[in-house]
Amino acid sequence: MFPLELFEIMLIGVLGIGSQWIAWRYRLPAIVVMSITGLLVGPIFGIINPEEGFGDLYSPIISVAVAIILFEGSLNLNFKELRDISKPIFRISTLGAFIAWILGSLTAHYIAGLSWAVSFVIGGLFIVTGPTVIMPLLRQAKLNPRPAKILKWEGIIVDPFGALLAVFAFKVIEFLTGVIPDITHLLLFFAASVFAVVLGWAFGRGLGWMFEEGHVPEFLKSPVVVVVVIFCFTIADIVMHETGLLSVTAMGITLANMGISSISDMRHFKENITVLLTSTIFIMLTASLERETLLQIFSPNIIGYVVLMMIVVRPLSIFLSTIGTGLSLNEKTLVGWIAPRGIVALTVSSYFATILLNAGYQDAEILTALTFALVIFTVVAHGFSIGWLAKKLGLSSQGHPGALLIGSNKFTVELSKSLMKADIPVIIVDSNWESLSLARKEGVSFYYGDMLSEQTEHILDTIPYDYILTITDDSAYNSLVCTTFVPEYGRTNVFKISPYTEYGNGYSSGVVSKVGGRILFDKKFNLDDLLEKLDDGYVFRQTTLTEQFSYEQYVAEKDDSTVFLYLIKPSGQLKFYSEEMRTVPSTGDKIISLTPPTKEKEKIQAKIESIRDINQN
């Protein structure tokens, strides 16, 4: 008999990663696509029900996945980022969270019709946003650094606090209603929370020390991290439910700020794991919903609650908590609107629904429907609006996707000038001040520093730039930069100038194709060749393809020494030439090439003759 559990695991994985690919391909919010996919295969068509299929393992799988996702997010929380945003981050995470809790609880009572006890529990839980929903939106919208950092830090820090606040509210309710006779349980709750933080810090310090002292080999570092995260989460959660999230967050922040040399490798590995976990967990959660839950979502009290949470509670909590923090009105507006709820809200609310029902609060039956309504409405609304709103408020990169050029020389400066003429953001990065003199003279944007240094990572705003082009005279450095940024930018967006000293010799093609990014333009032309062409009078020329002048005709007429550089599609999409480029230019495309001076002279002469003919007629 065919094992149905195996089929469910396979289908969940395929649907999760397939949803991510569709979202990438058509530039849609990934969490929206995943949620819709889960609903289709779950409650709508009834193909799978992971909660029934996995049985008792369902909740532990979700909990461990959330712990790993939250830990991976906290690895990005370096305190050096807080130079100019520490005040708003602190205010939003404390005062803002408290205001959101109170206002959210009042809304749940008066609008959703919940009892005071259930309202304060769910009000505490719904202050969370979380990395599973915030990170994909930040990658999609290309926000300016300050609002992006605020949303990232808030999402990761407040995530465990939301769950703890819900636990705290429930403990207070038990004390006030006499279920707990004394205040001992409340004190134990605070002690367990402190223990979770200390435990996470201790595991983080211990793991960091072992890595730095060489007690863990390179090939075991990432597996060891995953196992330790699960161990840390489990120990804290056994002591007090929901403190495990706090523990793994503390562990991640500790590791992120220890300056461990191999932390970037672990981060890349865990980013890949997180994408897989996020995809599968969203499919599992949405596919496990009941049809009755979906129908409940459209009841007036739930819709009214969700709308007020989005347009009143969230903006008000942000505006009140950030008074005097230096945030502009536009930044407050954006941060006040963006607050999508995700996996933590869904998983923890189902836990409290059971606890509250067992305690006699029958109105807790609608918690699952209420939570999913808030999740799906915020995910869809914020997912589709963040890019548009950020551009309207001037808080995201505008125009075409940009290019970041590593290495300052005559060719990169001329290439930058041609990109600037096409209204494409461009910047040159070099650690040699003298080499940057030409860029400064020609008015090209530049950054003085090493692209691989930690200081550059925290100072240089790389959001406007979709492509990295390494064009220095050091082939090893070019490959190193490409290898470093391939996980972040993708292999198709990272290029290096040809390392060949002459065509067919030098580096072996097998090594070149595997180390670093793709070879830029053509392997026949290294940096010396391009600089030599510029010295010989070669010019940057733009050619627009038309129905009368096709790409085939253009290739046939071009000089053999012409170097194809890049093309711009009518949509504004930028594509750099390389031997691995599969795009065939079509009508409307603009091709920029490095052309021999004879071609340019012929073009000028043709224009002169054309003008002469017109004057004669």
Cα-atom radius of gyration of the chain, to the nearest Å? 28
Q: How far is CA 542 from the centre of its chain?
A: 34
pLDDT score, position 532: 85
Of residues 503 and 174, more confidence is placed in: 174
Which CATH architecture does the domain made up of 4-392 adopt? Up-down Bundle (1.20)
Pair 434, 463: CB distance under 8 Å: no
For residue 225, give Cα distances in angstroms to 18, 179, 235, 271, 287.
Answer: 27, 40, 15, 13, 30
Nearest to 150 by CA among 79, 74, 77, 88: 88
* Helix, coil or strand: residue 468: strand
Instruction: Decide if pLDDT at 605 tops 60.
Output: no
Range scoring the smallest mean pLDDT among 259-263, 377-381, 402-406, 556-560: 259-263
Q: What is the pLDDT of residues 393-434, one digit of tens each?
A: 887 765 567 888 888 888 888 888 888 888 788 888 888 888
Q: Is the CB of residue 38 less than 8 Å from the CB of residue 282?
A: yes
Decide if pLDDT at 457 tops 70. no
What pLDDT is recorded for position 198? 93
Q: What percent of the chain has pLDDT over 90?
A: 6
> Virtual CA dihedral for 281, 283, 335, 152, nearest 10 degrees?
30
Residue 516 has a pLDDT of: 65
- Per-residue pLDDT reduced to its tens digit, 113-147: 888 888 888 888 888 776 667 766 776 667 777 88
* Closest-CA residue to 280 (of 59, 43, 34, 57): 34
C-beta of residue 344 within 8 angstroms of C-beta of residue 130: yes
Taking the CA atoms of 340, 395, 85 and 333 in sequence, report the sign of the dihedral they define.
Answer: negative
Task: Decide which of 117 and 202 is more confident.
Answer: 202
More confident residue, 515 or 33: 33
Helix spans in 240-366 (H): 244-256, 263-287, 291-296, 300-308, 314-321, 329-337, 343-358
Q: How confident is the model at residue 606 (pLDDT cuts 50, 70, 90)?
A: low
Q: Give dist(CA 585, CA 551) in Å, integer.
A: 6
In the chain, where the domains are located = 4-392, 402-616
What's the pLDDT band for 86 if we cut at 50, 70, 90?
confident
What's residue 510's pLDDT? 46
pLDDT, average across residues 80-107: 84
pLDDT category of residue 541 using cuts at 50, 70 and 90: confident
Pairing of strands 426-430, 446-448: parallel
Q: What is the pLDDT of residue 316?
A: 93
pLDDT at 504: 47
pLDDT of amino acid 587? 79
- Banded model confidence at residue 231, pLDDT cuts 50, 70, 90: very high
Instruction: Collapse the DSSP code of 442 into the 3-class scheme (helix H, G, I; strand E, B; otherwise coil) and give the result.
Output: coil
Q: Which helix (H) or strand (E) holds 576?
A: strand 574-576
Q: What is the pLDDT of residue 103?
A: 92
How does pLDDT run across 279-338, given as a tens digit for each residue? Answer: 888 888 888 888 887 788 888 888 999 999 999 999 999 999 998 888 889 889 988 888
Query: Tell me, what's the pLDDT at 503?
Result: 47
Model confidence at 264: pLDDT above 80 = no
56: region left, alpha or beta (phi > 0 left; psi from -120 to 50 alpha): alpha
Distance CA 57, CA 103 (A): 36
Report which DSSP code applies to 575: E
Q: What is the pTM of this model?
A: 0.68
Q: Which of 578, 573, 579 is nearest to 466 (CA)?
A: 573
Instruction: Indicate the average pLDDT of the chain.
Output: 79
The alpha carbon of 447 is separated from its chain's Cα centroid by a whole number of angstroms, namely: 24
Predicted confidence at residue 508, as pLDDT, reads 47
State residue 581's pLDDT score.
66
Euclidean distance between CA atoms 123 and 367, whole angstroms: 11
Q: Which CATH architecture has domain 402-616?
A: 3-Layer(aba) Sandwich (3.40)
pLDDT for 183 equals 73
Name residue, tokens 């926000």: 143
Q: Is the pLDDT of residue 199 over 90?
A: yes
Report residue 386's pLDDT band, with 50, 70 and 90 as the boundaries. Answer: confident
Determine the average pLDDT of the residues in 537-558: 79
* Cβ(235)–Cβ(199) below 8 Å: yes
Instruction: For residue 387, give the nearest of 12, 32, 47 by alpha carbon.
Output: 32
CA atoms of 514 and 478, how far apart (whole Å): 13
Would you place residue 261 in the very low, low, confident or very high pLDDT band (cuts 50, 70, 90)? low
28 versus 114: the higher-pLDDT residue is 114
- What is the number of residues in the chain? 617
Identify the residue whose tokens are 């459209």: 298
Query: Angle CA(326)–CA(329)–CA(330) in degrees, nearest 5?
Result: 115
What does the pLDDT average to over 187-211? 88
Distances (CA, A) of 284 to 19, 51, 256, 560: 13, 8, 30, 57
Task: Give just the sign of the alpha carbon dihedral 426, 431, 435, 438.
Answer: positive
Q: How far is CA 225 from the centre of its chain?
A: 21
